Homo-oligomer: A and B are copies of this chain.
Amino acid sequence: MAAGDRVLGLDVGATKFRIAVAGPDGRAERTVESPTRARRGPEAVIEELIGRLSAVASATTPRPTALGVGVAAQVDARGTVRFAPNLRWADVPLGARLEEGTGLPVRVLNDVRAATVAEWRLGAGRGATDLVCLFDGTGLGGGVVSGGRLLIGAGNTAGELGHLTVVSGGRRCTCPNAGCLEAYVGGWAIAARAREAARADAGGAARLVARAGGRLDGVTAEAVLTEAAAGDAFCGRLKAETREYLAAGLVGIANAFNPSTIVGGGGIFDGAPDLLSDALALARPRMLPSVGESLRLAPSQIGAGAVAIGAATWARGGLV
């Protein structure tokens, strides 16, 4: 691919999609955003995506040579969305439809892996050959670069680090497993644990519940972490427990992958960066010595555009 090429990146989220035109340096020269309106069903969404992508491609000089797509879904090796819980898509041949509709060669990958590529090539992981990205938002997603290559796996699903078991027989996850790291540390799980703890200790939880308008089901992970930072003891305990589970996960992740760098991002880690850095401080002396001693933590740098830009970088190729 020539050095001056433009490549399109598409981030298909449940609430909005984003199209980025990646320039020769991989960074976004232009970005277009629009609501996804997933309720219309996959066919209508795909038709709109094709229309918008074609318009952006026509308006770009030189004309883009490829399209990379990141989607919050399990994606198979041929670019079919196996299952996207938030979009409510199942077995949607997204890659094939976009290829047909835009005339561009298309590569589709999971959104977290796309963001991992962005951090690796352009962000906090630049220069690393062994990198783990953890993005903690509603769920806890992961992506792994090992030996200078993004791990893909046999079914295009490698890197699901939120679904490492850290408590055998533990809390139910949204996946079929119990005791997953995500089931303790994901945003939904911090909120669920807080609600349970509040039911058992209404007095202790008073400040947190008041912040949620007096309604337990209004309690969020963000509120827990904000109140913890403000010195609330109840939320402080929840945060300390979360840190301990995260440390348990980090030890395993580091021993399994032996990365030089862990990049942390997503709403939870961006909002409470000490959660991850303190967990790593707990975890480091528990790692195998050769694993822990040279591991560094880096906050994510790319932000909201990471999925589209990472997908474009991926489509540009040469990364596996």
Q: Is A3 an interface residue (CB 8 A)?
A: no
Q: Is A146 an interface residue (CB 8 A)?
A: yes
Q: Is A291 an interface residue (CB 8 A)?
A: yes
Interface string of A131-164 (1 = CB under 8 A from B): 0000000000010101101011111111111011
Quick check: A286 and B178 within 8 Å, CB to CB? yes
- CB A293 to nearest CB in B, in angstroms, measures 8
Quick check: A248 and B179 within 8 Å, CB to CB? yes
Cα(A156)–Cα(B253), bound, Å: 15
Q: Is A231 an interface residue (CB 8 A)?
A: no
Quick check: B252 and A155 within 8 Å, CB to CB? no
Q: Which residues of B contact A288 (CB under 8 A)?
A: 74, 157, 160, 163, 175-176
Q: Is A273 an interface residue (CB 8 A)?
A: no
- CB A177 to nearest CB in B, in angstroms, measures 4
Q: Is A11 an interface residue (CB 8 A)?
A: no
Q: Is A300 an interface residue (CB 8 A)?
A: no
For this complex, 29 residue pairs linking A to B, each with C-beta atoms less than 8 Å apart, are A74-B289, A82-B289, A83-B289, A129-B154, A130-B153, A130-B158, A142-B256, A144-B256, A147-B151, A151-B257, A153-B258, A154-B260, A155-B260, A155-B294, A158-B258, A159-B258, A160-B255, A160-B291, A163-B256, A165-B248, A166-B168, A166-B252, A167-B168, A168-B184, A175-B255, A176-B285, A176-B289, A177-B286, A177-B287
**Chain A interface residues (CB < 8 Å from chain B):** 74, 76, 82-83, 128-130, 142, 144, 146-147, 149, 151-161, 163-169, 175-180, 184, 244-245, 248-249, 251-253, 255-260, 285-291, 293-295, 320
